[in-house]
Amino acid sequence: MKLTFTDATLVRNGKTVLHPLDLELTERRIGLIGANGSGKSTLARMAGGLIRPSEGAVTVAGYDTARDDKAVRRITGFVFQNPDSQIVYPIVEEDLAFGLKERGFAKAEHRKRIGNVLDRLGITDLRERLAHELSGGERQLVALAGVLVTEPELLILDEPTTLLDLRHSRRIANHIAALPQTVIFVTHHLDLLVDFDRVIVLDDGRIIADGDPANAIAAYKRAMI
């Protein structure tokens, strides 16, 4: 999977949210870090075709996100910080099945896939539960499971562990480490990125560091003093 940003810019209400970006992303696990409001979510959404650049172009697996946004969204799964924006059905299992149905998976496969992903995230006990009765962290895990179960080619995770305890955050990190797909992971939890292939640091809409996790995280820490 290859993503390219060519002079991609985003201007909103007169503010330059992202200054012209040139990037070629071919790594499997890419972390995005930076200060609040530095443009991480914007870049992540642009990578998945949810936001079109004001100028320039973004391509995902050869599809231009401005022209072929449907194709891009078909191969991309998003997990956002707020699980409530993602959970649609009242019962956890129904919610996970909904994502599978929407993406055209055969019904016979639903139970097996759902069982597998719940098991891997350590939340099998939530299968029959009412989503609105779950804790914040449990809902975040269900939202994540709902996307993982569909195995999208590109997985974009925007602060998916903000409500999780250490055990579950680690489980997510381990799970991501084993995924064959491309993952773009926005987070303030720097320790989750130590084994990543590439980490990009944003500051005020610009890339200020880009490289291996140790160097990128060190640059971020220096910039935040």
Is residue 224 at the binding interface for ligand ATP, with CB under 6 A as the rule?
no
Instruction: Select from 30-38, 148-156, 167-175, 193-201 the region that touches ligand ATP (CB under 6 A).
Output: 30-38
3-state secondary structure at position 115: helix
Is residue 48 at the binding interface for ligand ATP, with CB under 6 A as the rule?
no
Q: For residue 207, give the nearest of 3, 5, 38 by alpha carbon.
A: 38
Is residue 189 at the binding interface for ligand ATP, with CB under 6 A as the rule?
no
How far apart CA 204 and CA 113 sit, in angstroms, is 41
Q: Among 3, 25, 29, 39, which residue sits at the site for ligand ATP (rule: CB under 6 A)?
A: 39
Nearest 10 degrees: CA dihedral of 121, 123, 124, 126?
A: -150
Is residue 37 at the binding interface for ligand ATP, with CB under 6 A as the rule?
yes
Judge whether 86 and 145 are in contact, CB under 8 Å.
Answer: no
Q: Judged by CB, which is closer to ligand ATP: 38, or 140?
A: 38
Is residue 12 at the binding interface for ligand ATP, with CB under 6 A as the rule?
yes
Is residue 53 at the binding interface for ligand ATP, with CB under 6 A as the rule?
no
Judge whether 76 and 156 are in contact, CB under 8 Å.
Answer: yes
Instruction: Select from 38-46, 64-72, 149-157, 207-215 the region that touches ligand ATP (CB under 6 A).
Output: 38-46
Q: Judged by CB, which is closer to ligand ATP: 35, or 71?
A: 35
Distance of CA 72 to the CA centre of its chain: 14
Is residue 38 at the binding interface for ligand ATP, with CB under 6 A as the rule?
yes
Alpha helices (runs of H) in the chain, residue ranges in sequence order = 40-47, 69-75, 92-102, 107-121, 136-148, 166-178, 213-223
Residues composing the chain: 225
Q: Site for ligand ATP (CB under 6 A): how many residues?
A: 12
Q: Among 3, 17, 25, 72, which residue sits at the site for ligand ATP (rule: CB under 6 A)?
A: 17
Is residue 40 at the binding interface for ligand ATP, with CB under 6 A as the rule?
yes
Judge whether 78 and 158 are in contact, CB under 8 Å.
Answer: yes
Q: Judged by CB, which is closer to ligand ATP: 23, or 91?
A: 23
How far apart CA 160 and CA 158 sit, in angstroms, is 6
Is residue 34 at the binding interface for ligand ATP, with CB under 6 A as the rule?
yes
- Which parts of this chain interact with ligand ATP (CB under 6 A)? 12-13, 15, 17, 34, 36-42
